[in-house]
Amino acid sequence: MMHPPMEPDELRTAVGRIRWYHSIDLGQGLVTPGYIDPRIYLKRLRLPAQLEGMSVLDIGAWDGFYSFEAERRGAARVLATDHFCWSGPGWGTKAGFDLAHAALGSQVDSLDIDVMDLTPERVGTFDLVLFLGVLYHLRHPLLALERVFAVTGKQLILETHVDMLSSSRPACAFYPVAELNRDVTNWFGPNPQAVVAMLRDVGFRRVETVWRPRAFPVRLARAIGYAATGRERFQLARINQSRCVVHAWR
């Protein structure tokens, strides 16, 4: 059942009641006050500009920015899934997704399901799977990638935190307690070689790193900058940490 669109003031009030992770343009001159603005990362992800006729699965959708972006780019079907942020122990809720969904008049489907419960029987398979900012939050990353592979019909786009950049072989850092960013939900920091190796191990035949970690001088400057602004004390570990984006095909 379609609900009538909210008036601007009503929508602004509703947005203000929610703790947002994603900045999402809802129209009417209103952008949600997200912790991050994912629009600046679209070029890095190399999300195809045209998705006409394709099915898309967004794993760990949270407020749904990438789900709605896939719909905007013409995807025939989009399924947004999450559990940790919608009804699990994460600080987020599904309120942002639901409000954005209504405000945008979206047809994106949603399902509250954990990564480990993804199977073709439960959700089907999809031409394009988005697995963005999720891997390092999982206690069992290789098993999770097996689940992701099972529901990927053609292509996967994966974005993640990476660590151990000084290692020349596949390696992975383990973060006990809240070692990474004082966040107890951060568990593992694979290096890019490990990400590629794991994807190949679970069955992807072609794997390509499309956005690589920043160069050493940039990572060093970042670590010094964090310390200079008082955000945290200087940490050598920061120099070996960055982000990467990998595309993989069955």
Asked if 101 and 24 count as a contact pair (C-beta separation under 8 A), the reply is no
Q: Is residue 4 part of a domain?
A: no
Mind listing the pLDDT tens digit for each residue in 4-25?
Answer: 678 889 999 999 999 999 999 9
Provide the pLDDT for residue 220. 74
Q: Is residue 9 part of a domain?
A: no
Q: Give the burial class of 58: count Cβ atoms within 10 A of its Cβ; 0-12 exposed, 13-18 middle, 19 or more buried.
A: buried
CATH at residue 211: 3.40.50.150
d(CA 105, CA 2): 8
Provide the pLDDT for residue 76. 98
d(CA 34, CA 31): 8
Q: Is residue 10 part of a domain?
A: no
DSSP character at residue 212: P
d(CA 43, CA 8): 30
Q: Is residue 16 part of a domain?
A: no
Q: Is residue 88 part of a domain?
A: no
Show the domain range for 163: 50-82+110-249
Mean pLDDT for back-to-back runs of 10 residues, the chain (250 residues): 74 96 94 95 95 98 98 98 92 94 97 98 98 96 98 98 94 90 88 98 98 75 70 69 96
Q: Is residue 32 part of a domain?
A: no
Provide the pLDDT for residue 125. 98
pTM above 0.95, yes or no: no
Please choose, from the candidates 166, 158, 171, 168, the residue with its C-alpha nearest in 3D space to the C-alpha of residue 215. 166
Total of domains in the chain:
1
